[in-house]
Amino acid sequence: MEAIAHLIAAAEATAADEKNANAAMSAGFAYGLAAIGPGIGIGYLVGKSVEAMARQPEAAGMVRTTMFLGIAFTEALALIGFVVFILLKFA
């Protein structure tokens, strides 16, 4: 009787294992994919901002402010990916 209980428990455990493995894998994919776009975006954004600042140093303050706003908006996408990662992994 006890052996059967153990078996059932083991089977449940493997099912849970598989589910958790899937969750971990999809979590990893979620974050990895979510980081691609914002990575390119932020790189492009900062590069262009530096170009603008070098071309017109007197406008550097304004460019920097706008750059930070742009980074904040772009970065939010990656961070949403990170939150999804946390949700998939731990929830």
Interface residue list for another protein (CB under 8 A): 6, 9-10, 13, 16-17, 19-21, 24, 62, 65, 68-69, 72-73, 75-76, 79-80, 82-83, 86-87, 89-91
Q: Which is nearer to another protein, 50 or 70 (CB)?
A: 70
Contact 63, 53 (CB under 8 A): yes
Q: What is the dihedral of CA 12, 15, 17, 20, to 10 degrees?
A: -120
How far is it, in rounded angstroms, from Cα 29 to Cα 46? Answer: 26
CB of 17 to another protein, least distance (A): 6
Q: Closest distance between another protein and the C-beta of residue 3, in Å?
A: 12
> C-beta of 16: minimal distance to another protein in Å?
5
Give the sign of the dihedral formed by CA 13, CA 14, CA 19, CA 20. positive
